[in-house]
Amino acid sequence: MSILVTGSTGVIGTQVLEHLSGSGAEIFALTRTPERAKFPAGVTAVQGELTDIDALRRAMKNVSTLFLLAPNAADEFTQALQALSVAREAGVKGIVYLSVFKGEEYIDVPHFSSKRTAERMIERLDLPATILRPAYFIQNDVRQKDALLKHGVFGMAIGAKGISMVDVRDIGDAAARELLRRERASGPLPRETYELVGPDALSADSITAIWSEALGHEINYGGDDLDALEAMLKSFGPQWLAYDMRLMMQRYQQDGAVASAEELERFRRLLGRAPRTYRDFARETASEWAKSKD
């Protein structure tokens, strides 16, 4: 039997495959373009995507454990529920589903509500799954490179309440641990849920201070202007996605997304170590940017 990883070429899927590498498990990676895929040794590319039900059914034949990452798409909700149904029909004994932190509270943010509804399907049907709820990805802020280096500005409108941002490497590590635990079990295991969160409540002030230290020059906050944020995001992607991100940042500004001590400790136990910090990420990233200029 084997593990099937969806979202295999994205930021999180890549990390999951890296952490599964060398585990001894048989790993398959779902991708639209197997001929272009560059996966770690021992990973087999399988053609398909979540919108192609026939391909998904073929991919799940003889698969015992599934990593399900539904893309942030207009039909994410449909893709997630259909994939869960196909897995159930195929008799998959273990699922690791990537949801989102604060999904139940942020009901007005479309991709949060979508993920929470997929969780409800898992709960109501008592599917043998681990639900992982990551906070805002630390590595999202790599996109701030030009603003930070050229203009001395951190431009993501996160506000002052605080967010327990998580490193994508820790997400991949957690997912791989749960996939292997379920894959190696003799049968389905009870449902589990983890909040994947970082150790710091990061606000605009704390992040600009961290970047100022890492880059060696003053970094200022770009402000809480959500109209400007939405306009900027529209220049890179579809309007529905820009509005979705605006709504998420609006909730961050209003309510924050800070983990409890219990949530952080549970995640630490899953990893077997402390989660990575934003300060370490900023220092590593600043060093990489400096080397790329040489």
- List all residues 6 or more positions away from 24 whose beta carbon is below 8 Å from its beta carbon: none
Can you give the length of the chain in residues?
A: 294
Q: Give domain status of residue 17, yes or no.
A: yes
Q: Give domain status of residue 54, yes or no.
A: yes
Q: Give domain status of residue 207, yes or no.
A: no
Q: Give domain status of residue 222, yes or no.
A: no
Q: Which residues, in sequence order, are bridge partners of residue 196?
A: 134
Domain range for 38: 3-134+167-197+260-271
Q: Give domain status of residue 40, yes or no.
A: yes
* Residue-level pLDDT, tens digit, the chain, 294 residues: 699 999 999 999 999 999 999 999 999 999 999 999 889 999 999 999 999 999 999 999 989 999 999 999 999 999 999 999 999 999 999 999 999 999 999 999 999 999 999 999 999 999 999 999 999 999 999 999 999 999 999 999 999 999 999 999 999 999 999 999 999 999 999 999 999 999 999 999 999 999 999 999 999 999 999 999 999 999 989 999 999 999 999 999 999 999 999 999 999 999 999 999 999 999 999 999 998 876
Q: Give domain status of residue 191, yes or no.
A: yes
Pairing, β 192-196 against β 153-154: unpaired
Q: Give domain status of residue 110, yes or no.
A: yes
Q: Is the pTM of this model over 0.85?
A: yes
Phi, psi of 40, deg, nearest 5 = -60, 160
Q: Give domain status of residue 150, yes or no.
A: no
Burial of 89 (0-12, 13-18, 19+ CB in 10 A): exposed
* CA separation for the pair 32, 50 (Å, rounded): 10
Tell me if 230 sits within 8 A of 246, measured CB to CB: yes
CATH number at residue 101: 3.40.50.720
Q: How many domains does the chain have?
A: 1
The pair of structure tokens assigned to 279 is: 């300060």
* CA separation for the pair 288, 68 (Å, rounded): 31
